[in-house]
Structure 1
Amino acid sequence: MKLQKTVIAVALLAALSACSNDDDTNQGDKGFNLTIAHINDTHSNFDPVKSSFTMGKDGEVVFNEFGGYPRLLEAANEIKEETSQPLLFLHGGDAWQGTAYFKLNEGTANADLLSQMGLDAMALGNHEFDLDTSKLASFIDSVNFPLLANNMDAGLDSALSGSTNLKPYQLFAFDGATKRTISEVTEANDNEQIVAVIGVVLEDMPTIATGTGDVKFENEIAFTQVTVNALKAQGVNKIVVLSHIGNARDIALAEGTTDIDVIVGGHSHTLLGDFTDLGHGDNGVYAQLVKQKDEVGQTCIVQAGQYAQAIGKVDVKFDSEGELLSCAGQNTLLTNEEFYNDGKREESDLLTGADHEKVASFIDENVLIDDVEENNDMRVHIDATYKPALEEAYGEVVANAPQEINHERRPGDGGTDKHGSDVAPLIAEGMVYWANQTDVNSVIGKKVQIGLVGAGGVRTDIASGEFREGHASLELLPFSNYLSVLTINGEVLTELLTSTIDATLPVGSHAGKFPYVGGMRYTFTEEVKNTSGNISSIDINTGTETEPRWEPISSATDYVVIVNNYNASGNDGWNALGDAQLQATDRVDLVKTSTGYKAYKVDHLTYNSTENTYSVVYADSAPSCDDNGTDICNTDALSFIDYAEEKVVLESLPFESTTVIYKD
């Protein structure tokens, strides 16, 4: 991190803060200053992510790589070296899942690498519950920093109940810039300042995560206020919340409580700040000050994007009574120093000489992007320990992508247009193609018309170049979901689209539930800004992908849809599908076996109103998907592999299937 750039940026931001303080010391009556470096939703991106940026709002596009764990480590180390005042380095959760590294190593590789980061604490994300609580417990007990969650009760879970490294909060005692962890306020010395970091996890975790075991999750606002009150009663007056609930709910948490000074967030993958000049959109205010419940106090909110591409740094000032005086800072995208003028990244596309210097100069002058070298020790360790197995696991080349195909969860995010992701519609179209192949369709017994995909189930862009089997099964669709086929009418389909899109409209909301489609198209028009809208047009494709023929969808007509079993069972807010199966359903869940494909008949779903979760009741037996099972259950990935192999050349669909018109 270039010190001069960072100092200038923070100085400018501090001048715009709601209030300021010229006192820069941390002793006695003179207040306390704290720097927080933070990351979130790193999702096992040990290697850099291929990406691009623009040199100015309408400037040239430069193809580069962002982040990766070694580059994050180097950036964090530079912040620590440049900062002479008290500092915390925090992770907002969801280190798990996302790349082939996690598929091959589960939690062990993350435990290894994150323990080298010098983290002070991490919030529990929903993807930390993707396996089971035994594997999560192993991860928690292996790392050298605490995992935090104050609104979670693991007492009844046999795997997690005994973990001493899973805590509601962690106390840090500072003597100047010297920091130590303490368990009780009474352990602090008279000359030390105490900062509490409280973990907050999703209260509706069982509706999102599949491996929560016997853990109970409690109200985010109510439980956190109780914890804050208890700490305040003990004399702790500097309180940081480390959350994994999403930016919109971070704001609600700040507005619904008192005495929280800073919220360091995760879950919504929000790269807070105006990155329009880099082609990455205006994603909301970094270090936003939100009025608390008493309309007197203020809470500062930050979050640092996704996939280990950026690091956040916020400087916080307190007065001698622990009242928040100001907060200022920024996110910084971390780029490599190899630039191309085309997404194919061929040798002829490499920028050299004056062209390279032009990009380097632009980066030097822009405070929101920085060229940071990778930490060499961590890179060597990854390449020696984890890379060989990863390379072997990718399998055969099945297609080629002439250009990068972009994925964003919600239209308009990350500088995208009103149509959003180009990858998710391709996957949905591929599911329809796969289901209607003779060997698959013979076990379904009916033609599949529509594919539905939740944006959060798609984890990466499709890079230009060779597309191998592992790009689908290990990266793009890594959750090993099987596909479900069921019949719903147009009314249910419209309600599903409306309710899931409405839930993504609030600023900073988690957009994993956003629906993309294949075999059809729709337009959603927002009516109440950031609140609600309606499906203004919806059509089914009765033709082909290359020669579509559009006919309006009727609310009373039945349609055969294919969707992964996670969303088919009403998870992550897809309640319209869950509710449609409560009495009865014709749904079948599709897996692959050693001899072909097999369909498991679902009789109906049941609903737990207390936890807002659905359970599947099979007519006979359920798919056997555990480590000892006989079924090959990742038919979501297998379907796209078959589709890619058929296409040979992977390109965006020739038509737009998803359109969102936002209200001005």
Structure 2
Amino acid sequence: MNKTLLAGLLALALTGCAGKPPEQPFTLTLAHINDTHSHFDPTDARLTLGNTAVFTRLGGHPRLLSHVNALRQQAQEADQPLLFVHGGDAWQGTGYFTLNRGAMNADVLSRMQLDAMALGNHEFDLDNGRLSAFIQSVNFPVLAANLDAGQDPDLNGLDNLKPYVLYAFDGHEKERIESVEDAGKRPVVAVMGLVLEDMANFSPNIGNLRFEREVNSAQHTVNSLREQGVKYIVAVTHLGLERDQRLARKVNGIDVIVGGHSHRLLGDFSHLGWDDGEPYARRFNNPDGLGTTCVVQAGRFAQAMGQVAVTFTPDGRVSHCEGGNTLLSDNVFYRDIRRGDHHRLNEAQQQRVAAAIEAKPNISMVAEDPALRAHIDEKYRPALSKAYGDVIGHVPFPLTHVRLPVDGKGSRLAPLVAASQLYWVNTPPVQAVTGRRADFALVAAGSVRNSLEPGALKEGNVGLELLPFANPISLVSLTGRQVAGLLLETINTALSSAAHTGRFPYGAGLRYTFNETSRGRGYLNRIEYLDNGQWQRIEPDVRYQVALNGYHASGNDGWHTLFDSQQAFTDRLDLAFVNGKPRVFPVARLSKNGQGTIEVHYINQPLNCKTARVACSTDARAFIDYVRERRPVLTALPESGVTLNRL
């Protein structure tokens, strides 16, 4: 957002409603974040200013706190209402989460004084007991109007898990209230939450929870709030931008949707060498043809904060919705991503960069909150530093990870992850227990959680950050026809507008060409695998041994072909370490329970990753061994194996 825009909007709101009778327009400012994924420290970033590339760090929770505190101060001085909300997926993403299992998230987020947070899919990555502890530990409400926890022993009856909350405002002063009657003549804002209706496809750990339809639940909740006399309704969601926009078009009465899940940084950031995203604060017509809903989202990894000012007509409809996302930058800049002292810009260069940033509309230099920075450094950073372990190799050049290839350039890391799995399952110790040789490997883009910057690569960079989900590697046989079907379904669904791009497939020992014929649809005109050094055409009726992680091998995250192919019978083998040695766990078949969660049925002893002597993180171990044994100087592979020809 332009650095003067928020102040201007607040001033506009002040002249429009402060000191006026209740029938005058009401303006609400929302500060919002989403998909922060435990990025408590800043993330490395490259910016283009003019024709010059500079390197700095963006965001982190201490910087978010400084920025929102500044917004709070502005709102207080203007005597205007402000809410600070989180669109979900605070969990996962860095070694901090792997070590602290949600406790650090509860601690740090509570210090930020959020007003509400939606549940994201990654909040279900552990188990409902851990999620319950998180919800009970935070000092803000966690929202999910379409979640039925009545049959779940961990989440049933939690006071802090709600479908919505109500806030009454008197200028800047706000009070959380139980009913509209408690507000008197003060304006009331309802904040409701929505989670993915198909959560079972994203998380296997949902216990006995039921997830209701997003549109139906939203309309039911809005109707209930309107009947209570609530005029202003905000939905904090973790559905993805496409579903948020659908919600706006299909539900009457939501004024603002603050979303997450898509990792979309809305707004034009091309002047910084970043993408030109969809417009921020787009308004969509409701089905009744009368109301409109404003939709916003704020990127990922705690790099940016959104701020939107919404002005309402006296009868409660949105008349203005304006704002933008702001990238939060450090004030130190380098000419090289390695950020050595000798790479740091001199004083004159620093001043020129600072002036250039000051002139940009959607980036600001923001100092970290010193108290939160000190708290993280003292309580959590020592264990993180210790956990990173031994150096396994070195990265001489940045290895960037993007989910979808852009202009012919795809992820430089996902093919390496696939190559590590193909290498590892074909090593003699692993082949000795499987009795098989893999033909190729597949990996979903969403399995790879970050890029790698130049420098030493430690075990913890892999197991705590790059591949933090502790997935076993699976070997499953698929026909060439099934491989083609899997590629088609995952590519097509990943390419659709504002889709969940994490399901996009990369491979090793496999290459394909996909031609898009209409937006988000297309065909494969080449699928080949590497056989004894020669590329061969995939034959429809031939069976191939495919290596991939167990999560996607079960058909989760939209890899439905794999579930369909294993419902009656499978020869799949899951690989884990037992007492430090590789062991196979043969799978008999897959099924779905009443909540739609995919269940794996093993032939003999089931694979229990919670057992102390069992280590399921063979995906991370494969990458560590691959780097240490084959690629100690880790660079990108000569080709990604993916040719994506888009319209």
Q: CA deviation at 1:12?
A: 10
1:463 paired residue number: 453
TM-score, normalised via structure 2 length: 0.96
**Which amino acid is 2:461 matched to?**
H
* Equivalent residues of 1:27, 1:176 under 8 A apart: no
Give the equivalent residue in structure 2 for 1:41: 35
RMSD between aligned residues: 1.9
- Deviation of residue 435 (structure 1)? 1.0
Shift of 1:176: 1.2
Aligned to 1:617: 601
CA shift, 1:397, in A, is: 0.1
Structure 1 residues 320-377: Cα deviation after superposition (integer angstroms, max 9, x where no partner):
1111001011101111122121222222221112222222121111111111111100
Residue 535 in 1 paired to residue 532 in 2?
A: no
2:70 to 72, 78, 82: 78
Give the Cα separation in 2 of the matches to 1:128 and 1:639.
26
* Residue 366 of structure 1 pairs with residue 363 of structure 2: no
CA deviation vs aligned residue, 1:183-230 (integer Å, no higher than 9, x gap) = 11111112x000000100000111111221111100000011000001
Alpha-carbon deviation of 1:107?
Answer: 1.1
What does residue 148 of structure 1 align with?
143
Q: Are positions 1:507 and 2:489 aligned together?
A: no
Q: Is the 8 A contact 1:419 1:658 kept in 2?
A: no
Instruction: Give the match for residue 653 of structure 1.
Output: 637
Judging changes above 3 Å, is the alpha-carbon distance between structure 1 residues 164 and 356 closer, same or farther for their aligned structure 2 residues? same
C-alpha deviations, 1:554-582, integer Å up to 9, x for none? 22222211111110001111111111112
**Equivalent residue for 2:279, pick from 285, 289, 306:** 285
By how many angstroms is 1:418 displaced? 3.0
Query: Equivalences for 1:296-445 in 2 at 5 Å?
Result: 296-412=290-406, 417-445=407-435
**Structure 2 residue aligned with 1:276, among 248, 251, 270?**
270
Deviation at 1:66, TM superposition (A): 1.0
The equivalent of 2:157 in structure 1 is 162
Could you say which residue in structure 2 is the equivalent of 1:177?
172
> What are the Cα deviations for residues 262-299 of structure 1, in whole angstroms up to 9, with x where unaligned?
00000111111111111221221110111111233211
Equivalent in 547, 567, 570 of residue 585 of structure 1: 570
1:67–1:333 Cα contact (<8 Å) kept: yes
Contact 1:419 1:660 in 2 (8 A): no
In the alignment, the residues of structure 2 paired with residue 37 and residue 320 of structure 1 have an alpha-carbon distance, to the nearest angstrom, of 23
Determine if contact 1:344/1:404 at 8 Å carries over to the other structure.
no
Whichever residue aligns with residue 617 of structure 1, its letter is: H
Aligned to 1:230: 224
Residues 77 and 13 (structure 1), Cα distance of their counterparts in 2 relative to 1, 3 Å cut: closer
1:27 deviates by 4.4
Cα separation, 1, equivalents of 2:272 and 2:182:
47
Mapped contact 1:197–1:239 kept (Cα < 8 A):
yes
- Contact between 1:131 and 1:210, CA under 8 Å: does it hold in 2? no
Report the equivalent of 1:60. Answer: 52
| 1:2-41 alpha-carbon deviations (Å, 9 max, x no partner) | xxx42247869999xxxx9983547412110010000000
Cα distance between partner residues in 2 of 1:262 and 1:21: 20
- Which stretches in structure 1 are left out of the alignment for 5+ residues? none
Which of 478, 498, 506 is the aligned partner of 1:516?
506
Secondary structure of the 1:573 match is coil
2:591 aligned to which of 606, 626, 630: 606
Q: Distance in 2 between matches of 1:29 and 1:327?
A: 19
Decide whether the 8 Å contact of 1:450 with 1:562 is kept in 2: yes
Percent same amino acid among aligned pairs? Answer: 45
1:23 partnered with 2:16: yes
SS of 1:77 mapped into structure 2: helix
Alignment deviations for residues 376-426 of structure 1 (CA, whole Å, 9 cap, x no partner): 0001000000001100000000010011111122223xxxx3332111111
Output the CA distance in 1 between the equivalents of 2:518 and 2:153: 46
Distance 1:91 1:560 in 2: 42
1:572 counterpart residue number: 557
Q: What corresponds to 1:102 in structure 2?
A: 97
1:472 corresponds to 2:462: yes
Contact in 1 for aligned 2:448/2:466 (Cα 8 Å): yes
Q: Of 547, 551, 556, which aligns to 2:536?
A: 551
Q: Tell whether 2:617 aligns with 1:634.
A: yes
SS class of match (2:515): strand
- Any idea what the Cα deviations from partners look like across 1:249-270, whole Å, max 9, x if unmatched? 0011111111111000001111
Does the aligned pair in 2 maintain the 1:247–1:510 contact within 8 Å?
no
- Whether the 8 Å contact between 1:207 and 1:611 is mirrored in structure 2 is no
- Shift in Å at residue 656 of structure 1? 2.5
Q: SS where residue 30 of structure 1 aligns?
A: coil
Deviates more, 1:390-399 or 1:575-584: 575-584
Contact 2:204 2:597 in 1 (8 A): no
Cα distance in 2 for residues equivalent to 1:27 and 1:87: 20
Residue 659 (structure 1) shift:
2.8
Q: What is the identity, as a one-letter code, of the residue corresponding to 1:520?
A: L
Runs of 4+ displaced beyond 3 Å: 8-15, 24-27, 610-613
Residue type of the alignment partner of 2:54 = V
Summarize the Cα distance change of 1:515–1:22 in structure 2 as closer, same or farther, 3 Å threshold. farther
Cα distance in 2 for residues equivalent to 1:189 and 1:258: 26
Among candidates 3, 6, 29, match of residue 6 of structure 1: 3
Q: Which amino acid aligns with 2:63?
A: R
Residues 441, 360 of structure 1: CA spacing in aligned structure 2 closer, same or farther, 3 A cutoff?
same
Distance 1:516-1:88 versus aligned 2 partners, 3 A rule: same
Task: Please report the TM-score for the alignment, with normalisation by the length of structure 1.
Answer: 0.94
Deviations 1:107-136 (A, max 9, x none): 111111000101100000111111111111
Structure 2: runs of 5 or more not aligned? none
Distance 2:168 2:14 in 1: 22
Give CA deviations for 1:470-496 in whole Å, capped at 9, x if unaligned. Answer: 001011111111110111112111111
The number of residue pairs the alignment matches comes to 642
What is the identity, as a one-letter code, of the residue corresponding to 2:425? A
SS in 1 for 2:495: coil
Aligned to 1:563: 548
The answer to whether the Cα contact below 8 Å between 1:344 and 1:402 also exists between their aligned partners in 2 is no
Task: Describe the SS at the equivalent of 1:525.
Answer: strand
Q: How far, CA to CA, are the matches of 2:159 and 2:9 in structure 1?
A: 42
Secondary structure class of the residue paired with 2:339: coil
